[in-house]
């Protein structure tokens, strides 16, 4: 990461975040699409149907909105609320600029933590894959049940097995993702506490 200010964006993030503030939620597909557009991995990995203000996974999207050329907290009441939120999250004005990652963040210099983040990336990708497969199996079973002619008892049994396996695969993937998240959090908190102890020993 650099310490220079990022260039202004084209405003897609700003429009979305203004909608979020106005409506109280943001569609999950829109979050993922914006994540891909702005290179925000947390938004790309977002799996819920919608996001609400305060969710850590979309804070990068809020920062992108604040860096948009159209962002006008001095004249737009919604933008002013967004700026207050960003100041509270990053520190006053700090959200306008990049900074080097802390030692307890991804890319902060701890190889073990970076490895755990990579494991988490794999787990989240698998979670999304199994979630998509589960909904596909459910939709296929529902469509077959309404189809004409009927697929018959054997066909229904086969689809039910596929659906049950898809649900089981998703549940296991969700468990693996939860474990991966917990490992990242545990390591990050340990590194943060280690840093604090060193600072205290220095009298800082």
- Residues 6 or more apart whose Cβ sits within 8 Å of residue 194: none
Kind plus residue range of the DSSP H or E element containing 135: helix 111-145
The residue extents of the domains of the chain are 12-96, 111-201
d(CA 117, CA 106): 7
Report DSSP letters for 143-186, one per residue: HHHT-SS--HHHHHHHHHHHHHHHHHHHHHHHHHHHHHHHHHHH
Q: Is the pLDDT of residue 182 over 80?
A: yes
In Å, how far from its chain's centre is CA 98? 19
pLDDT tens-digit readout, 62-104: 999 999 989 999 999 999 999 999 999 888 998 998 878 889 9
pLDDT score at 149: 57
Answer whether 101's CB lies under 8 Å from 148's CB.
no
C-alpha distance across the termini of the chain, in Å: 25
Query: What average pLDDT does this structure show over 121-142?
Result: 89
- Cα 126 to Cα 65, 96, 166, 183: the distances in Å are 29, 33, 12, 17
pLDDT score at 145: 66
pLDDT tens-digit readout, 140-165: 877 776 655 566 677 778 888 988 99
Q: Smallest Cα–Cα separation from 89: which of 17, 28, 16? A: 17
d(CA 75, CA 80): 8
């Amino acid at each position: 990461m650099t310490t220079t200010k990022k260039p202004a964006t084209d405003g897609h993030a700003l429009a979305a975040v203004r909608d979020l503030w106005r409506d109280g939620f943001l569609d999950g597909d829109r979050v993922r699409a914006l994540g891909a557009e702005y290179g925000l991995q947390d938004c790309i990995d977002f799996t819920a149907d919608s996001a609400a203000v305060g969710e850590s996974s979309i804070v990068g999207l809020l920062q992108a909105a604040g860096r948009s050329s159209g962002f006008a907290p001095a004249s737009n009441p919604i933008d002013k609320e967004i700026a207050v939120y960003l100041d509270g999250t990053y520190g006053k004005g700090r959200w306008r600029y990049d900074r080097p990652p802390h030692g307890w963040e991804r890319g902060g210099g701890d190889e073990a933590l970076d490895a755990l983040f990579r494991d988490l990336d794999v787990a989240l990708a698998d979670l999304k894959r199994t979630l998509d497969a589960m909904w596909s199996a459910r939709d296929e079973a529902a469509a077959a049940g309404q189809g004409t002619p009927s697929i018959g008892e054997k066909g229904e049994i086969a689809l039910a097995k596929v659906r049950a396996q898809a649900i089981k695969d998703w549940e296991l993937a969700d468990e693996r993702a939860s474990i991966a998240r917990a490992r990242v959090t545990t390591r990050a908190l340990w590194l943060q506490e280690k840093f604090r102890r060193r600072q205290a020993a220095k009298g800082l």
